[in-house]
Amino acid sequence: VNVLYLGKLAHLRDDPFKFEKALEIIERGALLVSDEGRILAAGEQAEIKAQSDDARVVDFGDAWLLPGLVDGHCHFPQHYATASHGKDLLDWLQRSVFPAEMRYADARYASDAAISFVQRLLACGTTTATAFGSQFIDANMALFSAARNSGLRLIAGMTMMDRGAPETLLQSPADAGNQADALIAHIRGEPLLHYAVTPRFPLSCSHEMLELCDDLLRRHSDAYLQTHINESQGEIAAVRAGFTDAADYLAIYERYGLVGPRSLMAHDIHVSDDQLARLGGSGCAVCHCPTSNLYLGSGLFPLRRHLAFGIPVAVGTDIGAGTRHSLWQELSEVYKVQQLQDFGLDAARLLYLGTLGGARALRLGDETGNFETGKSADFWVLDDSENPYLTERLRHCDSWEDQLFCLLHLAGPGEVKATFVAGRTAHRAK
Ligand SMILES: [Zn+2]
C-alpha cells in the first residue's frame, strides 16, 4: 500500500547556481510513496490527497520533509578518531589516525563500530554516504552488512596502502586486488551498495598499487574511484618531492587512469587553474569538507573556481578530521568558508550542495537528491518543536526561505525526527 507523508516540503528542482527559483518550498506539502519506495508524487496536500484515496497517511504536522543528505566523504575507521590532536594533516595521520585505524583489525570491534557509524549517519539525516573503508576485509564486510541492514545507501571500498604507515595497515598489491574483488562480488546485486576503489593518497601507494587501482577500474566498470588531492601545503610538498617527474598532484592520478566521471577527489584546496580545467574536462567530481579543512588548518576551498570550471561538487563531513557526523551542520561551515572568500551562499545553494548537487556529483542524481517523481524516497524529517530557542527564532522570520536558512545554521541531529531510505524507515528518534 502507498504511503502519504504530510509536512512542509523543501527541495531543489534543479541547480540554483544556474537557475533562478530552483528551490521549491510547499508549506502544506505531501509526498506520495509507493510500496517499492519510489516517489509517486510530491506537491500540495490538497492535490496529492485527491489522487491517493487508499494511501496510508503519516502526518508530520509542521515539521519539514527534506531530501536525504549526501555525505560525499568520510572515513569509517575514523569513527572514533574525531577531535584527535595533530599539528597538521601528516602529523595527525601518524599520531592519531593510524593507531585508530589499526584497531579495526579486531573484527568484533570493527563490526560494533560499523553499526554505530551507520546509525549515526542516519540519525543525522544522511541517506547516502561515500566512505573510505578499513584496511581489513572483515571490517569492510561488516560495514556493508551494517549499511544493508539499516538501509543506508553506501559507496565504500577498502582503503589501499602499501607504504608510509605501520605495517599492520599495509597490504601487498596482490592481496589488495584479491580482497577488492571479493568485496565487489559480495555486494553484487545490492541496489543501495556500491564499490569504490580507494587508494588513500600517493604517499600511501607504490607504483604497483596505483597500477592495480587502474586494473580494478578497468575490470569493474561500475566501480567508483575515491581518493584525496591537494589538501594541505605540507602534504602537497611531500607528494611533489616523492613524484618529481609528475607536473602536479593531479598528473599522478592521471598517469594511472584514475581521473574520470566516476572519480571523486576530496579537498582540492590548493589547486591551479590548469588542474581545474583538466578536472572539469574529465567529468571528475570534487568533495569539499569545510570542518576538516578548518580543523587541520588545511585551507579555504575555492568553490567559485570549481563551479566556474564546471566541476560537480559534493560536501563531506570527513569524519574523523571533521568533528561531526552531521552533513546538515557541515553546510553551515560551507557557508562560513565561502564568506571568508566573498562568496555569499543562500539557503537554496546550501541545500543543493548537501542534496541534489551531492547526488549528481556521485552520479546518483537520477536516483536520489530531490522529490522528483520516480526517484527513490530518500528523505528525513526535521522537527524543531522541541527546541525552544529555535522555534522562537523561526517566528521572527519573514519567509519560509528565511526559516530554511536559519535551520541550516541552527538545527542539528537533535532535530532529526526520522530518516527514510527507499521508503523504508532507517532511523526514528526515540
Ligand atoms: Zn579524508
pLDDT digits (tens, 9 = 90+) for 267-287: 999 999 999 999 999 999 999
Measured in Å, residue 315 CA sits from the centre of ligand 1 at 12
pLDDT digits (tens, 9 = 90+) for 215-254: 999 999 999 999 999 999 999 999 999 999 999 999 999 9
The reported pLDDT for the residue numbered 430 is 85
Measured in Å, residue 355 CA sits from the centre of ligand 1 at 20
pLDDT digits (tens, 9 = 90+) for 130-158: 999 999 999 999 999 999 999 999 999 99
Measured in Å, residue 46 CA sits from the centre of ligand 1 at 45
Measured in Å, residue 174 CA sits from the centre of ligand 1 at 24
Strand 39-44 relative to strand 23-33, pairing: antiparallel
Measured in Å, residue 71 CA sits from the centre of ligand 1 at 12
Measured in Å, residue 22 CA sits from the centre of ligand 1 at 31
Mean pLDDT of 198-210: 97
Measured in Å, residue 159 CA sits from the centre of ligand 1 at 11
pLDDT score of 86 more than 90: no
pLDDT digits (tens, 9 = 90+) for 13-56: 999 999 999 999 999 999 999 999 999 999 999 999 998 889 99
pLDDT digits (tens, 9 = 90+) for 316-369: 999 999 999 999 999 999 999 999 999 999 999 999 999 999 999 999 999 999
Measured in Å, residue 226 CA sits from the centre of ligand 1 at 10
Measured in Å, residue 225 CA sits from the centre of ligand 1 at 13
